[in-house]
Chains A and B, each alone.
Chain A
Amino acid sequence: MKRHLISAGDLSRADALLILDTAEELAILSDRPIKKLPTLRGRTVVNLFFEDSTRTRISFEAAAKRLSADVINFSAKGSSVAKGESLKDTALTLEAMGADAVVIRHSASGAPHRLASWVKGSVVNAGDGTHEHPTQALLDAFTIRRRLKGLGGAATRGEGLDGIRVTIVGDVLHGRVARSNVLLLSALGAEVTLAAPPTLLPLAVGSWPCSVSYDLDSELPKSDVVMMLRVQRERMTAAYFPSVREYSRRYGLDKARMARLPEHAIVMHPGPMNRGVEIAAEVADSARSTIVEQVANGVTIRMAVLYLLLGGTEFPEVTQ
């Protein structure tokens, strides 16, 4: 493991499996009377959120608290950032307070990378602009492995996602989740296909380790996993498709489309959902949907990441 978690692309297959296996062992914590471990006692984790987020921030907070770390929540609203403080000055302030890890979400792609050069502690990317969201990809991989490779336990240890076909549908251009997932899932051996209108695919998609399709219906029968992405209207500055209704008709997952999936296939969504746009309510609430499971797995996977980054020697410079 490296000192920071900035991009899913930094993780080798072995690193990713170590995180998943660690999470597998931590998952039993939720069945225990005392859902807390003493491992990170005395360590400080700062949640530095420059962008609105509910589940990711709460998830990181719960993960750090379950490992007994002290958590400082920092949101740009109501802080000195509102008065014009720069990221660097904010970082130096946190540094002076002795943060062992900084979990950062920022609207600018690359902000965590810059931050990593200013602070001594570990930096965990919790979503930067349209770039990456590595812990989301890890929790998705964890959910896929648990659902499709046997329900957890020692049996899945060390197992990748080899042979699993994942179709990621929707707004790849504005979605950091898609990039992280493509990098991580393909490193774990899955075959990833992006299904989206051409306007919502980034230019460089040809260099990604995945295939691309403009036709969702032809991909569905051969998918083990369908991952629906949110249509990020807040990031859209131009007309990427004629109307929401048309998008929904061509790329939304409704009951009829779900019926074309193989029997065992699962439906994922990183949340928050636009019900009726990219995913129909009856699909989101069906037994195939892993949406609630993904949230629960999010806490577990973030515990694993924090443990692996902070649990050992202060500066594990040497990767394993």
Chain B
Amino acid sequence: MCAARNPVAGRDGLAVLDAEEIRRALTRIAHEILERTHGGGEIILLGIPTRGVPLARRLAALIGEFEGLEVPCGSLDVTMHRDDLRLRPARALGRTDLPAAGIDGKTVVLVDDVLYSGRTVRAALDALTDFGRPRAVQLAVLVDRGHRELPIRADYVGKNLPTSQREVVHVLLAEVDDTDAVLIEDGGQP
């Protein structure tokens, strides 16, 4: 791991994963998903906007590469189900785009970039209930930074990243930010 100040445009912070490492982590997660779901026959990958969506697409592409499977892939916006809506001005909504076949009886793998308090995932679980009844729900994240506030854990983790709550974790992905990297920045305030 390179521990130098990161040169990534516009972002200050310590790089903890570079593009190669992100690719390797996703490759491993893709294999783990296949293993845990016995070949990935009945799975749906749902990314949580913004950066969970490209991650879900990448995982779907990798699974397709390994097993020749076309894995349905979509996005699930959880804004309307969040528990902190009243703490901030109303925010713009992200896209929800579920595979036409629905999620009933399938294994849904939620994909997000960073797992922190667990509240986003809680909201995602609530949102899913309105769409149907999956057989099982699993969670894949690129970075688990700890500090959970709810009894939630990830099934697939790209990297466990012990952080302090003062720090900010930035996940940059080529689809959104033109580059792949995970950075840690000292946020200054607790």
Chain A interfacial positions (CB closer than 8 Å to B): 1, 18, 21-22, 25-26, 28, 32-34, 36-39, 154, 307-314, 316, 318, 320
Contact = CB atoms under 8 A, between A and B. Distances in A.
Contacts of A154: 95
B96 A25 contact: yes
B126 to A, nearest CB: 7
A38 B81 contact: yes
Interface string B64-102: 000000000000010011000111111111111100000
B88 A38 contact: no
A39 B80 contact: yes
Interface in B81-136: 81, 85-97, 126, 130-132
Contact of B89 (A26, A28, A36, A316): A316
Contacts of B87: 313
Contacts of B96: 25, 28
Contacts of A318: 89
Q: Is the interface of A mostly helix, strand, loop or mixed?
A: loop
Interface residues of B, number: 20
Contacts of B132: 33
A21 B85 contact: no
B77 A39 contact: no
Contacts of B77: 25
Give 10 nearest A-B pairs by CB, closest first: A312-B90, A25-B93, A312-B89, A311-B90, A316-B89, A34-B130, A37-B80, A39-B80, A308-B90, A22-B93
Do most interface residues of chain B lie in helix, strand or loop, or is the interface mixed?
loop
A251 to B, nearest CB: 40
Given A25-B96, A26-B93, A28-B96, A312 B126 contact: no
Given A25-B94, A33-B131, A38 B80 contact: yes
A310 B85 CA distance: 10
B90 A1 contact: yes
Q: Which of B81, B86, B94 has the most CB of A within 10 A?
A: B86
Given A32-B130, A32-B131, A312 B91 contact: yes
Nearest to B75: A154
B89 A37 contact: no
Nearest to A314: B86
A39 B130 contact: no
A216 B93 CA distance: 40
26 contacts: A1-B89, A18-B92, A21-B92, A22-B92, A25-B77, A25-B93, A25-B96, A26-B93, A28-B96, A33-B131, A33-B132, A34-B131, A37-B80, A37-B130, A38-B81, A38-B126, A154-B95, A308-B90, A310-B90, A312-B85, A312-B89, A312-B90, A312-B91, A313-B87, A313-B88, A320-B89
Given A25-B93, A25-B95, A312-B91, A307 B86 contact: no
Contacts of B126: 38
Nearest to A154: B95
Contacts of A21: 92-93
B81 to A, nearest CB: 6
A316 B91 CA distance: 11
Contact of B85 (A18, A33, A36, A39): A39
Given A25-B96, A28-B96, 16 more contacts: A1-B90, A21-B92, A22-B92, A25-B93, A33-B131, A37-B130, A38-B81, A39-B80, A154-B95, A307-B90, A308-B90, A310-B90, A312-B85, A313-B87, A313-B88, A313-B89
A310 B86 CA distance: 9
A244 to B, nearest CB: 45
